[in-house]
Structure 1
Amino acid sequence: ESKLFMSTKDTLVRAFMAGAILGLAAFFAISVITFTGNLLIGSLLFPVGFIMLY
């Protein structure tokens, strides 16, 4: 319900920040995959971005 009463400006700022956090999580996961060569570690680290959004 609280999101229903937020201003448009606040909604856009939160959406931008959420996209930036997910972008950083993707960059981090790809960097880990590149440097270690292990796909499993990178794929396990990507959900950290979703956890940070919560």
Structure 2
Amino acid sequence: MLTQAVEAEVADFLANLKAADGHQRVVRQGHLPEREVMTGIGPVTLRQPRVRDR
């Protein structure tokens, strides 16, 4: 569920960033390496999306 929330946040962020000429100013570029995040219910594996500024 945490991964879905991060993916949705990145998608929303990218949807709102267009240059004056209509091109994307920031683009997705894969994912960072997987890592474990400690939560209140235990460790959760997370893949963080990478974005690149043009």
TM-score bracket for the superposition, by shorter chain length: 0.3 to 0.5
Q: TM-score, normalised by structure 1?
A: 0.42
Larger of the two Rg values belongs to structure:
1
The structure whose residues are more often helix, as a share, is 1
